[in-house]
Amino acid sequence: MSVFIDKTTKLVVQGITGRDGSFHTEQMREYGTNVVAGVTPGKGGQRFANAVPIYDTVAEAVSDTGANTAVIYVPARFAVDAIYEAADTGVHLVVCITEGVPVLDMTRALLFLAERGTRLIGPNCPGLISPGKAKVGIIPGQICREGRIGVVSRSGTLTYEIIHQLSSHGYGQSTCIGIGGDPLIGTNFIDCLEAFEADPETEAIVMIGEIGGTDEQQAAEYVATHVSKPVVGFIAGQTAPPGRRMGHAGAIISGSSGTAKEKIAAFERAGIEVMKRPADVVALLEKRS
């Protein structure tokens, strides 16, 4: 099995004719993802790569193709409207790659999504991949291999590093999810931990956090009481000074709750083995197996 996407995923790409949208649509198609439609207002009736029909609206695309998943590659000022448009069609999953989406806009969008029962991954995220089945987003398919390790991360680049370490040592992945590092995101650590715990083909979980906020502490409490599978973790930003944002918009220490030290302590209290560096991931998984 896999989490959130699989071979039944039928994808519509919002912003398919833009620079990023067109490049990553080709990457997703080459990986084997079933890209059934694209959306660029004003370009309806055209075809992407002489194969994928382009529509003016997501509603038209979903009605004609039965798309059940949307991915967003549009500029930040249009991204929330793109989320609304996708969710309003009834697709079950929306993945927003766009960064720089205003937090105030996301407060309204999350309520809209909840009312419709639509899952959002992102914004400001690399998306997700179920190796051998489908990828939605920008995670490089060539570094992944099929297997039984679930990966969930706030950091895009560290996601790639951890996947590379796993694959290089023969540890394939069931699904890898980059949830994004903004202060407000659609799918959090706990959502992914719950899904991995329920997935019979995921045998262990790697969780990559970073400074800022309290999501990692809440996830650690969830692991302690609800997760039976081995979990190993990493916290990025361990040398960041208080009050300075490092990387993602959400990676800012305020008081003591957002520090790497506090997050690592929470992981350890929950029985989560903590890496000192990403290269330690395989050794810790073997220790827990």
Measured at the alpha carbon of residue 155, what is the angle toward residues 154 and 161, in degrees to the nearest 5?
130
DSSP string, 93-150: EEEE------HHHHHHHHHHHHHHT-EEE-SSS-EEEETTTEEEES--GGG--EEEEE
Of 56, 66, 121, 54, nearest in space to 90 by CA: 66
Token pair listed for 187 = 């799918």
Question: Active-site residue among 92, 164, 169, 248?
Answer: 248
Main-chain phi, psi angles of 19, to 5 degrees: -60, -55
Query: Do the beta carbons of residue 67 and residue 42 sit within 8 Å?
Result: no
The answer to whether 248 is a known catalytic residue is: yes
Tokens linked to 180: 């994004």
Which tokens belong to 58? Answer: 């997501």
Structure tokens at 196: 């991995």
Q: For 205-242, what is the HEC assignment?
A: EEEEEECCCCHHHHHHHHHHHHCCCCEEEEEECCCCCC
Active site (catalytic) residues: 248
